[in-house]
Each structure stands twice: as structure tokens, then as C-alpha cells.
């Protein structure tokens, strides 16, 4: 992985990385991708991808509204709140 | 150059479930911020989604109603992006394998009927709301809406004018309310529309580059936004420019669309199947249940009204615009036992006008179907004239009681007694010998003069049909 | 108990000691006992891996991101174990977000192996394994995404079971890789694990992947004898790359089984060699998405001194996550991104199917599979954490089981250089009862599980 790819992926994942981290990750991730590329040795034409270990159908829930935790408890751990709202730096429209 | 407009619509309909699509939090609109969100909606660590059966049922009902395939197997995926009102950092949405595909909807325009293809409809969760007026430099996040079930309904690019797009939207809007899956409230955002608009020289087979118009929250704005955008694109291309594929925001105040360039950074949503949710499998039995509870659909109802009640296409269309209005009409017809056309005239005429004036929905009409039927019977049996009936209706609307009570109280009973009318006719003839001679000499138009005089003398209460008959007989004597 | 935990801080096995809660729950247990209650786990102190949400008790996932996070709810596992009478005494240390095989990625520092404090305890449930090995608690919970219960159990000389996917609810278990994560018990013996699993297992309507099937009586199931049991010996697990003395320990253990009436059968898992690459696509891919919720908005860490929203996100996540977590988020994001999705993610899903199918075929010839849990005994602290790939290869024998969703158990089978060696038993889907039975019978005739590290 080159610096440009590291930059792009770090942005997609919203990870702020130091210069040092970028360098280290470029090397490490390349090694990991090397390991991962061993998969290419296996022929998988016609194999159905397996997304869940259990092939059972999705179980559904009855449409019942139940009271949850109070707003105070829900917001208790939030870094910044005001009048019952979570606050974040201004989102530019 | 002659241009052709090509429009496809994406509608987000909020489903009318009691609880959210993946959590048990209630879905009430307008509650204080963050009181309708639970730990799942706020994406607290370790919380998991569990799918609401009712949302699935509603999506399947829609699929059946538009003649689509309701897939036995569909898959929820994660659409990954960061936004403060998207608590998990991904939206759960159906992507590669939607629940509904390949449907169609018939619209009626000035050019007649047209079938619009429905590419797909899929289930997904709504995001929360970002409130930008919270103060200097901050945005407030309210998660009450987060997790509300949405059915995203995507049409084929089959519409060729803003008018067709509006017609499609209206048919769709009527349908989702008929199906009782969405309240259709556009102001509250329960029924939202994005439009993909492009233009091309007429006759061209390839589609032009499209712009996606967002934030259109009324039928009128859909029309205006599309019309503006079409003008913009034609002017742009005619001037040697090219249309960019982009998202544009409709500004209803300035009546224009604006590029959202700031948000056009290369989005890479990294969709993948949600590992918390195995594939959704719909059994034949489930689908049978949904089919069994399917109401009569607007199109079928419109055709039936035409055939059963002998109504014009227009009247049948107006009366089936909502399930409630259609029910009101049918209740009236059944209670009255009168000509369905008379009932149709009254429901689309006087009643609609009153509702409109008062800004009321049909369910809040101050005259019930049974009461209206009572009045219609009195018109049919000649007790009141059509003209007097309007006064009776006005009084009934104001709460003066049923038709018979009002007719009696106001003395509006029509005079249909032959003897009484003959008496008045004789008096009028005696008072106007000259006109009588003219009539007898062949001046037929004098007849209307006599009708007017008789009605006047009866203070409008004489039965006009009888007046005609008796005048014709006596004037010749 | 709390005293012993506090006195053994050098192991760093715990992140939080829930002293008040423990006293309160112990008192309730005493009262229940006085009132005539006699449940097997009544009053038994246990420690929960700090990945399970505990209402009112901070739950960190060993991350700076959640260093002060206090959940308003209990995980289903926590709730069920309390209902069974267990007393929660502490939250155990672990690799950050369960990402690691040595417990060195914890924001709260590495855990030490009670058998040799210069060695790692394994990971990610290293704190639970070390606490049980040092006899600080009789039992603990763990989670296992690629071996995180079994590998530390092996390296610390305790018994640990990863149940079948879906057997134990994941609600309240902080997600690492949702299609692989499974919670399970860690204790000295298979018998204790049977009691703990009985309390943990069962259907939960808050987890759509929880199985709505009856839970067998694991304790009653311990008694059956092993005559005629077919134990599959996986050819690929007795090959190069495994420390020869580990294999020798395994061969001795298998002879014990033959003595108990079991028959050894040769089987092969031809695709299991691809499990590590497959896993290092799938687990990071899921993790990259699962960890997107840590954005500094609703709970957890938020950085200071940001310019705008974008900067807040990046600083928060850059500072709040440790290096291994960031590494995996990067890999996972990359594997899911446009242009790479088919080559990495879909390819890995197809391999996953092949790997799972291998097990189905192998179980046509045998009832359980046996082999080493880990290719070597506990390695020294600081040796592998500089090379992710060599660290990842540690889990070569445990990862395929998670990909297939099967149950597997690690039990003490001997020692090499004074360090415990684990034997892994793998079962058919939902056959954890048999695994517990097979392990229990071994523990009736051996005492590896009863050995206690010096000083504890």
C-alpha cells in the first residue's frame, strides 16, 4: 500500500494518523495484504459466499413499542449535550 | 432543437409501524428530542438490530399492490459513512437484494393512461436529524427519527414531463395511504421525493447525464424543481456546456436548484451484508397472509365505481382519491338508495366545497354519509328542489339537524300537490292575459316567463317539473 | 476474593474490580441460600471479560475510547449469570476490542502469564485466563472471534469453551466481528465450564442470530463414557510449523483417549491453511464497520482541540484507538472499498464456505476432532507484537472453527518448559455437550488441569 492509498483509506475510516503511523502502516498493511493474497491460490468459481455461520432465516420481532432508558441515562455518557441534544461541531450544509 | 425530458423518481415512504425497524423504540413524531430513541437507536456498544415483522409485511403489501416480485430471500447490507445523525456509522439498507422488484403503476394524464415501471422497493432505516440552529458553531443531534422504517421506492426513468412525475407521485401517494403503510404527510417528511432528471434530443436512445434533485417536499415543488432543472440543463447544453452528474438541492424560496458540490466528495459506501442480520426469508404462508389482508386498490376501485355506479372516469377518479373518501361515497349511496350519480355530484360538489372551505379531511365532515343520504332521498322524491337542498345542506353542516328537520323548520318543503299548483297557475294566467294570447299564437318563448312567474308566486317552492306539466296543459285551454 | 484480586495486581488481569457490586450480590446470594435456594452457581464469584456490558459498572473493552463508558444495561450473558446466582467480582483485562493474541494491545497494559510472568497469557481473553489460572476466580467469561477463549486457555493451562455460533446471545457483547464473535466460559475444569455454559446459553430475542433451540443438560451430559468415540486427527494440525514438543504432548494425550476406549481416525481439512488470510479479511472488514460508531458524539472519548467535525472525528478515532485496532480498521476498510471488494471480501466469503465444508466432510468420519490449540506454548512479552503477521499465525488452529461457526474447547494436556499446553477439541454444530463430556473424561484420568502456578 502506498502513501496515497493509506491516506484515502484513513480518510474513509476517519482515522487521524501521524506521519510515523502512516509509514508504519504502509509497510505493515502491505505485509498483511501479502498474507491475505494467498487466498488467490484457491479456485472458488461457483462457490456460494458464506456470510453467516448459521444459514437459518432471519428471525422477526413483533411490532411492539417498549419504553427504553430515560433520556438522561441515554445522554449521560455523551461528551457534549444541551437541552436534550447531542452536540457536534457545526455541520456545514 | 426539440428536447425530451427523462425523469425517474426515488420516494422514501416512512412506514406506519408502532416501533422502529430494528428496535422497540416508539416512532411518534414531534416528541421532545432524544425521547423516542433507545440504546439500539443510539448505537450503544453491544446493541443489536432485530427486524420488525410489520415493516416486512408492509413492504410485501406494497410489492403485491404494484404487481411486483416479492423476493423469497432478501439481504440487509450496511452502507458505511460518517455523519453525526447516523449513530452506527452505517445505515442498514437493502442493496444488492431488495425485497421488492419489477413492479408497475398506472398513471392518468391528459394524454391518457401510462404505465410507469417500478424498479425496486427496499427496506431501510431512517437517520436522525441534525439541527443547525442550536448555537454558534454547533449542530444538535436528535435521534428520535433514527431507525424509523423506510420503504425506498425507485421508479424506472419512464416519465417524460414534470406533469407525469407529479401524476406518478400522486398515484403512489394515494396507494401507500390505501395500503395503510404510510401516512403520506409530506410536511413531516413521511413521504419524501428525490428526482433524477436528464434531457436529451428527441429521438436519441441514450440517456443524458442526470442530476439528482433532493429535498422536494410537496407536489408543487416537484413540478417546479423539475421544470427549473430541465430549463437549466437545456440552456447549459445549448450553450455548449455539459451536465454534471451531481446532487442538487431544490430551494423553494428562490425556485431554483443548487449544486451540493461540497458533499460531492468521492463517496465509497463499502456496502457489505450485515453480519448481525441473516437473510430475510419470506415464506409462501406469510405472503398469503399479506395477500389476504390486501384492500381494494385505487385503480380497481376506480374501474368498479365506473362500472357499478355509472360514473365518469373523472368522477370515479376524484371519489377514489382516498380510501376514506371512497368509503364515504359508498356509505352514502348504500344508505340513500338513490341514483349514484346524484350522490357523486353532491360528494364532489357541495361536500367537497365545504370541506375545502373549512380545511377539513373527509373523516371530519360535519355531515355524515347517513345524513347526506337523507337529504338525497328528499331530492329524489321531490320533497325539496335541488336549489333548496343546498340551503338545507348548509344548515345541516352548521349543525341544525337532519334533512327532514331542517326542511320542516325552514318551510322548504316543495309544493308538489297538483291542485295547489293549478291554483297558482290560474292566478298567474289571469294576471297576464296578453302573454297568454302570445303563447297561444305560437310564441313559445313566453313559456319561460310563465314558469318564472309561477315559481315566484310559490316563493320557489313549487315543484318545477309539475309546474311545467300544468302550465303546458292549462295555457292551451 | 476481592482481597486476593487486589493482592495480585502484578498480573494486571483486571481492569475494574466491582467491589460494591460483588458485596451486594454476595449478600443477596447468602440470603437466597439461607432461604433454601440451592442452585449450583449460587454465590459463585466470577469475572466478566471487559467486553460484556455491565449496568452501572464501567465497560472499557480495554480501549481508551471507552475508558469511562458506563453502560445503562447488562449484556444478556451478564444478566443470565446473575440470575443463576453468580457474583460479579471484576472485569477482566483483554486485548483492545478483542483484537490480539497476547493481551498486549490493552490500553490498560499487558496481562502477565501466571506460569511465567515474562510470558504472555494469550489473548484476547488473557485477563480471564490468567485470573482463572492464578485461582483468583473459579470461573470467568470470555469471547472468541478467532481463538480468543481457547488460545489464552491453552497458554494459561485452563479449560475454555467457544460454543457454536448462536448458542450464546451476543446482546451487550461489544462487537468485534459479528459473524464470528461468540461468548463462552473459562474455568479450571470442563465440569465447571458445563455449569457456566448452562447459565450463559439460550435463546435471546434481542439478538437476531441467537438460536431458538433447546439447551441440553450439559452437566448431566458429562457422565457418558467414551467407548467407541471416534476422534479425528487432523493431518494438517500435526505438521510442520508446530513446535515438536507440543505435538509430543498431544500424542500422549491422544493415547489417554485410546485408553478410555476412543478410536483415532485420520481426517483432513485441506482448506484450513487458508483460514488465516480469510479471517484477516473478514474480521477486519466487519470490525471496520462495527467500530464506526465510536465517533465522539454519543458516548466515549472525544479528542480536544479540533477545528471542525471532520477533524473531531479523525482526532477522536486517531487518539481513542490503539495501533492494532487502527491497523485492522485500515485493513477492513481497504478490503471493503470500491475496486477491492470482490478480490478480498467476496473471495474470503467463498473460502469461508470451503473451510466450513471441510469440517462437514471430516465429521462424516469422526465425532470430534482433536489437535493442538496453539502451535507453541506462551511466548515472551514483546516478542511478536512488532510483527502482526507472525502474531496472526498464532491462531492458525483456532480460526477455522469460528469461520465455520462450530463449538471448540481447549483443555490442559501437559507442559513444555513449565508452560501449559492446550489440546483443542472441535465438535459438530451445537455439539458442545459432547465436547464437555470428552474433556471431562480426560480430566477424570489426568491432573494437568489441577496444577497451580507457583505462588498462587
- C-alpha distances (whole Å) from B440 to each of B337, C222, C321 are 42, 120, 108
Question: CB A85 to CB B34 under 8 A?
Answer: yes
Asked if the structure places residue A17 within a domain, the reply is yes
Whole-number Cα distances in Å, B211 to B9, B234, C147, C259, C285: 12, 13, 50, 76, 32
Helix (H) / strand (E) element for B192: namely strand B191-201
Residue A79 DSSP label: S
Question: Is the same domain home to B273 and B323?
Answer: no
Domain count, chain B: 3
Active-site residue among C101, C128, C148, C272?
C148
Instruction: State the average pLDDT over residues C299-318.
Output: 97
Single residue among B359, B390, B410 that ends a domain in this structure: B410
Give the mean pLDDT of B183-187. Answer: 93
Is B226 near chain C, with CB under 8 Å?
no
pLDDT at B456 over 80: yes
The CATH number fitting domain C2-215+222-270+356-450, selected from 3.50.30.40, 3.90.1300.10, 3.40.1410.10, 3.40.1280.10: 3.90.1300.10
Selection from B436, B373, B425, B358 nearest residue B403 by Cα: B373
Same domain, B245 and B364: no
| CATH number of the domain residue A15 falls in | 1.10.20
Work out the average pLDDT over B191-208. 93
B217 has a pLDDT exceeding 90: no
User: For residue B121, which of B88, B80, B154 has the smallest C-alpha distance?
Assistant: B154
Question: Which residue, chain included where needed, has cell 459479528?
Answer: C178
pLDDT at residue C3, as a whole number: 79
**Under DSSP, is residue B329 helix (H, G, I), strand (E, B) or coil?**
helix
Q: Is the pLDDT of residue A93 over 70?
A: no
Mean pLDDT value of segment B153-159: 98
Give me C182's grid cell: 461468540
Give the per-residue SS3 of C282-310. Answer: HHHHHHHHHHHHCCCCCCCCCCCCCCCHH
Interface of A with C in 34-73 (CB under 8 A): 34-42, 44, 47-54, 56, 58-59, 61, 69, 73
- CA nearest C12: which of C111, C95, C107, C102? C111
Cis ω for the linkage preceding B72 (within 30 of 0)? no
Max avg pLDDT among B115-124, B253-262, B385-394? B115-124
- Residue of A22, A39, A45, A91 to mutate for C, most C C-beta atoms under 10 A: A39
CA dist., res. C23 & res. A34, Å (int)? 52
Q: What is the pLDDT of residue C8?
A: 79
Subunit contact C327:A28, Cβ cutoff 8 A: yes
ipTM: 0.96
CA distance C87 to C81: 8
Same domain, B356 and B422: no
User: pLDDT of A44-77, one tens digit each?
Assistant: 999 999 999 877 789 999 999 998 999 999 999 9
Per-residue pLDDT for A11 more than 60?
yes
- Separation between Cα atoms, residue B12 and residue B18, nearest integer Å: 18
pLDDT number for residue B443: 84
Lowest mean pLDDT among A77-86, B250-259, B261-270, B299-308: B261-270
Give the mean pLDDT of C281-291. 98
What local confidence, expressed as pLDDT, does residue C400 receive?
Answer: 97
pTM: 0.91
Closest CA to B241 of B217, B208, B267: B208
| pLDDT digits 0-9 by tens, A22-37 | 999 999 999 999 989 9
- Enumerate the H helices of C321-431 as residue ranges: 323-336, 347-362, 388-392, 399-404
- Do B78 and B225 lie in a common domain? yes
Which pLDDT score is estimated for B462?
82
Establish if B280 touches chain C: CB-CB under 8 angstroms. Answer: no
Quick check: is C49 catalytic? yes
Question: For B18, which of A12, A63, A91 is closest by C-beta distance?
Answer: A63
The pLDDT value given to residue B261: 64
The DSSP code for B363 is G
Residue-level pLDDT at B345: 93
pLDDT at B266 over 70: no
Distance from CA of A87 to the nearest CA of C (A): 7
Residue A21 lies in a domain: yes
Region of poorest pLDDT, from B264-273, C11-20, C144-153: B264-273
In the block, cell 443524458 appears at B208
pLDDT score, position C94: 98
Examine the residue annotation and report whether C179 is marked as an active-site residue of this protein.
no
**Under an 8 A CB cutoff, do C299 and B44 touch?**
yes
pLDDT of residue B339: 87
Answer yes or no: is pLDDT of C188 > 50. Answer: yes
Same domain assignment for residues B188 and B309:
no
Mean pLDDT value across chain B:
91
Q: Is C210 a catalytic residue?
A: no
Contact assessment for residue B396 and residue B403, using Cβ atoms and an 8 Å cutoff: yes
The DSSP code for C251 is H
SS3 (DSSP) at A73: helix
For residue B266, count other CB atoms closer than 10 A to its CB. Answer: 8
Q: Would you state the torsion angle of the CA atoms of residues C103, C280, B96, A5, taken in this order, to the nearest 10 degrees?
A: 100
- A15 inside domain: yes
Element (H, E) at C15: strand C14-17
d(CA C133, CA C128): 9
Q: Domain containing B239: what range? A: 3-289
Of B177-191, B444-458, C337-351, C416-430, the poorest mean pLDDT is in: B444-458
Task: Report the gap between the CA of A2 and the closest CA in chain B (Å).
Answer: 19
Q: Whole-angstrom Cα distance, residue C121 to residue C84?
A: 29
Query: Helices B369-380 and B403-410 sit at what angle, rounded to 10 degrees?
Result: 50
Q: List the catalytic residue out of C101, C124, C128, C410.
A: C124
Q: What is the DSSP letter of C183?
A: E
Q: pLDDT-derived band of residue B194, with 50, 70 and 90 as boundaries?
A: very high
Taken as a whole, chain A contains a residue count of 93
Residue with cell 468420519: C365
Whether the pLDDT of residue C307 is over 60: the answer is yes
Name the residue facing C330 among A25, A49, A61 (closest C-beta).
A25
Strand partners, B3: B201
Does the distance separating the beta carbons of A82 and B135 come in below 8 Å? yes
pLDDT digits (tens, 9 = 90+) for C33-84: 999 888 899 999 999 999 999 999 999 999 999 999 999 999 999 999 999 9
Domain extent at residue A19? 3-41
pLDDT value at B412 more than 80? no
Query: Regarding predicted confidence, which is higher, C425 or C19?
Result: C425
Number of domain units in chain A = 1
Show Cβ contacts of residue B260 under 8 Å, excluding neighbours closer than 6 positions. Answer: B214, B246, B247, B248, B249
Render pLDDT for B289-335 as a digit per residue (tens, 0 to 9).
999 999 999 989 999 999 999 999 889 989 998 899 999 999 999 98
Predicted confidence at residue B476, as pLDDT, reads 77
The tens digit of pLDDT for each residue in B334-364 reads 988 888 999 999 999 999 999 999 889 898 9
CA A19 vs CA A5, A25, A45: distances in Å: 14, 10, 41
Q: What average pLDDT score do residues B157-169 get?
A: 96
Q: Residues C46, C78: contact at Cβ < 8 Å? A: no
For testing the chain A interface, which of C64, C273, C330, C337 should be mutated: the one with the most A CBs within 10 Å? C330
Pull the grid cell for residue B278. Answer: 441473516
* Final residue before a domain boundary, out of B289, B309, B333: B289
- For residue B264, pLDDT beyond 50: no
Question: Among the listed ranges B80-89, B157-166, B446-455, C114-123, which one has the minimum average pLDDT value?
Answer: B446-455
Q: Does pLDDT of C394 surpass 70?
A: yes
Our CA-based measurement puts residue A4 at a distance from the nearest CA of chain B, in whole angstroms, of 15
Find chain C residues with C-beta within 8 A of A35's C-beta. 276-277, 280, 389, 392
Residue B37 CA to residue B18 CA, distance in Å, equals: 13
B30 and B79 both lie in a single domain? yes
Cα C112-C117-C119 angle, rounded to 5 deg:
75
Q: Which among C115, C99, C119, C117 is positioned nearest to C107, based on CA atoms?
A: C99
A7-16, B403-412, C31-40: which has the minimum mean pLDDT? B403-412
CB distance C298–B42 less than 8 Å?
yes
Q: Rounded to whole angstroms, how far apart are CA atoms C241 and C238?
A: 9
C341/B272 Cα distance (integer angstroms): 9
Amino acid at each position: 500500500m502506498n502513501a496515497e492509498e493509506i491516506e484515502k483509506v484513513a480518510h474513509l475510516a476517519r482515522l487521524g494518523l501521524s506521519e510515523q503511523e502512516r509509514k508504519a502502516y504502509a509497510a505493515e498493511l502491505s505485509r498483511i495484504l501479502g498474507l491475505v493474497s494467498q487466498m488467490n491460490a484457491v479456485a472458488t468459481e461457483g462457490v456460494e459466499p458464506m456470510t453467516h455461520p448459521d444459514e437459518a432465516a432471519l428471525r422477526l420481532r413483533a411490532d411492539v413499542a417498549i419504553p427504553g432508558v430515560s433520556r438522561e441515562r441515554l445522554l449521560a455518557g455523551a461528551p457534549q449535550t444541551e437541552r436534550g441534544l447531542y452536540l457536534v461541531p457545526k455541520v456545514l450544509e | 432543437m426539440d428536447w425530451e425530458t427523462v425523469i425517474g423518481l426515488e420516494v422514501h415512504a416512512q412506514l406506519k409501524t408502532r416501533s422502529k425497524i430494528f428496535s422497540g423504540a416508539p416512532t411518534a413524531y414531534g416528541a421532545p428530542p432524544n425521547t423516542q430513541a433507545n440504546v439500539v437507536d443510539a448505537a450503544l456498544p453491544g446493541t443489536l438490530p432485530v427486524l420488525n415483522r410489520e415493516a416486512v409485511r408492509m413492504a410485501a403489501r406494497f410489492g403485491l399492490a404494484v404487481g411486483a416480485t416479492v423476493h423469497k430471500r432478501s439481504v440487509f447490507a450496511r452502507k458505511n459513512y460518517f455523519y453525526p445523525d447516523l449513530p452506527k456509522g452505517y445505515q442498514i439498507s437493502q442493496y444488492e437484494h431488495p425485497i421488492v422488484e419489477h413492479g408497475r403503476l398506472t398513471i392518468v394524464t391528459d394524454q391518457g393512461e401510462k404505465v410507469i415501471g417500478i424498479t425496486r422497493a427496499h427496506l431501510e432505516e431512517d437517520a436522525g436529524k441534525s439541527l443547525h440552529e442550536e448555537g454558534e458553531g454547533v449542530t444538535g443531534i436528535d435521534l428520535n427519527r433514527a431507525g424509523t422504517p423506510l420503504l425506498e421506492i425507485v421508479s424506472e426513468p419512464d416519465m417524460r414531463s414534470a406533469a407525469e412525475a407529479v401524476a406518478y407521485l400522486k398515484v403512489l401517494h394515494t396507494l401507500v395511504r390505501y395500503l395503510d403503510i404510510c401516512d403520506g404527510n409530506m410536511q413531516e417528511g413521511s413521504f419524501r421525493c428525490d428526482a433524477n432528471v436528464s434531457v436529451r434530443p428527441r429521438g436519441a436512445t441514450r440517456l443524458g447525464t442526470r442530476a439528482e434533485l433532493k429535498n422536494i417536499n410537496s407536489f408543487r415543488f416537484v413540478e417546479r424543481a423539475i421544470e427549473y432543472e430541465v430549463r437549466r440543463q437545456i440552456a447549459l447544453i445549448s450553450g455548449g456546456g455539459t451536465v454534471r452528474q451531481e446532487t442538487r438541492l431544490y430551494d423553494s424560496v428562490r425556485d431554483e436548484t443548487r449544486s451540493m458540490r461540497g458533499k460531492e466528495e468521492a463517496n465509497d459506501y463499502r456496502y457489505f451484508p450485515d453480519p448481525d442480520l441473516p437473510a430475510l426469508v419470506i415464506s409462501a404462508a406469510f405472503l398469503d397472509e399479506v395477500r389476504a389482508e390486501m384492500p381494494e386498490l385505487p385503480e380497481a376501485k376506480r374501474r368498479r365505481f365506473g362500472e357499478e355506479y355509472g360514473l365518469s372516469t373523472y368522477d370515479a377518479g376524484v371519489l377514489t382519491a382516498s380510501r376514506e373518501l371512497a368509503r364515504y361515497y359508498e356509505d352514502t349511496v348504500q344508505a340513500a338508495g338513490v341514483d349514484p350519480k346524484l350522490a357523486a355530484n353532491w360528494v364532489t360538489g357541495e361536500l367537497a366545497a365545504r370541506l375545502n372551505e373549512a380545511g377539513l379531511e373527509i373523516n371530519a365532515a360535519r355531515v355524515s354519509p347517513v345524513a347526506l343520504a337523507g337529504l338525497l332521498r328528499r331530492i329524489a322524491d321531490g320533497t325539496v328542489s335541488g336549489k333548496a337542498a343546498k340551503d338545507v345542506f348548509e344548515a345541516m353542516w352548521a349543525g341544525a339537524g337532519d334533512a327532514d328537520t331542517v326542511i320542516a323548520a325552514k318551510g322548504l318543503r316543495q309544493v308538489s300537490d297538483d291542485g295547489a299548483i293549478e291554483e297558482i297557475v290560474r292566478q298567474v294566467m289571469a294576471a297576464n292575459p296578453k302573454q297568454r294570447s302570445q303563447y297561444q299564437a305560437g310564441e313559445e318563448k313566453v313559456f319561460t316567463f310563465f314558469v318564472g312567474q309561477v315559481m315566484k308566486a310559490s316563493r320557489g317552492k313549487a315543484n318545477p317539473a309539475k309546474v311545467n306539466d300544468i302550465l303546458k296543459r292549462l295555457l292551451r285551454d | 476474593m476481592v482481597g486476593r484480586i487486589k493482592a495480585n495486581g502484578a498480573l494486571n488481569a483486571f481492569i475494574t474490580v466491582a467491589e460494591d457490586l460483588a458485596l451486594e450480590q454476595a449478600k443477596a446470594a447468602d440470603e437466597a441460600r439461607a432461604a433454601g435456594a440451592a442452585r449450583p452457581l449460587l454465590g459463585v464469584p466470577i469475572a466478566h471479560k471487559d467486553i460484556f456490558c455491565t449496568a452501572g459498572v464501567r465497560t472499557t473493552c480495554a480501549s481508551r475510547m471507552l475508558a469511562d463508558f458506563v453502560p445503562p444495561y447488562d449484556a444478556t450473558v451478564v444478566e443470565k449469570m446473575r440470575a443463576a446466582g453468580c457474583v460479579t467480582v471484576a472485569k477482566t483485562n483483554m486485548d483492545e476490542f478483542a483484537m490480539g493474541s497476547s493481551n498486549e494491545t490493552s490500553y490498560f497494559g499487558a496481562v502477565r502469564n501466571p506460569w511465567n510472568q515474562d510470558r504472555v497469557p494469550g489473548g484476547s481473553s488473557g485477563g480471564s485466563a490468567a485470573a482463572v489460572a492464578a485461582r483468583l476466580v473459579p470461573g470467568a467469561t470470555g469471547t472468541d472471534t478467532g481463538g480468543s477463549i481457547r488460545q489464552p486457555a491453552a497458554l494459561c493451562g485452563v479449560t475454555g469453551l467457544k460454543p457454536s455460533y448462536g448458542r450464546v446471545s451476543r446482546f451487550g457483547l461489544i462487537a468485534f466481528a459479528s459473524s464470528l464473535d461468540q461468548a463462552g466460559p473459562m474455568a479450571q475444569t470442563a465440569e465447571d465450564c458445563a455449569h457456566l455454559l448452562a447459565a450463559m446459553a439460550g435463546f435471546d430475542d434481542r439478538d437476531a442470530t441467537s438460536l431458538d433451540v433447546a439447551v441440553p443438560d450439559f452437566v448431566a451430559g458429562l457422565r457418558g463414557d467414551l467407548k467407541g468415540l471416534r476422534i479425528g486427527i487432523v493431518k494438517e494440525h500435526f505438521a510442520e510449523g508446530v513446535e515438536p514438543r507440543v505435538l509430543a504432548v498431544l500424542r500422549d494425550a491422544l493415547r489417554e483417549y485410546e485408553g478410555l476406549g476412543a478410536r483415532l481416525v485420520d481426517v483432513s481439512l485441506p482448506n484450513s491453511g487458508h483460514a488465516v488470510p480469510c479471517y484477516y479479511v473478514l474480521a477486519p472488514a466487519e470490525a471496520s464497520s462495527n467500530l464506526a460508531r465510536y465517533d465522539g458524539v454519543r458516548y466515549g472519548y472525544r479528542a480536544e482541540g479540533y477545528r471542525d467535525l471532520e477533524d473531531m472525528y479523525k482526532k477522536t478515532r486517531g487518539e481513542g484507538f490503539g495501533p492494532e485496532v487502527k491497523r485492522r480498521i485500515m485493513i477492513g476498510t481497504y478490503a471493503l472499498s470500491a475496486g477491492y471488494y470482490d478480490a478480498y471480501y467476496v473471495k474470503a466469503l467463498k473460502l469461508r464456505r470451503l473451510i466450513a465444508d471441510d469440517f462437514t466432510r471430516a465429521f462424516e468420519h469422526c465425532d470430534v476432532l482433536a489437535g493442538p490449540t496453539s502451535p507453541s506454548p506462551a511466548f515472551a512479552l514483546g516478542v511478536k507484537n512488532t510483527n502482526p503477521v507472525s502474531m496472526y499465525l498464532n491462531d492458525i488452529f483456532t480460526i477455522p472453527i469460528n469461520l465455520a461457526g462450530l463449538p471448540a474447547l481447549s483443555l490442559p494436556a501437559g507442559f513444555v518448559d513449565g508452560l501449559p499446553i492446550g489440546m483443542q477439541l472441535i465438535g459438530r454444530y451445537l455439539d458442545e455437550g459432547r465436547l464437555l463430556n470428552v474433556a471431562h473424561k480426560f480430566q477424570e484420568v489426568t491432573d494437568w488441569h489441577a496444577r497451580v502456578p507457583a505462588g498462587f
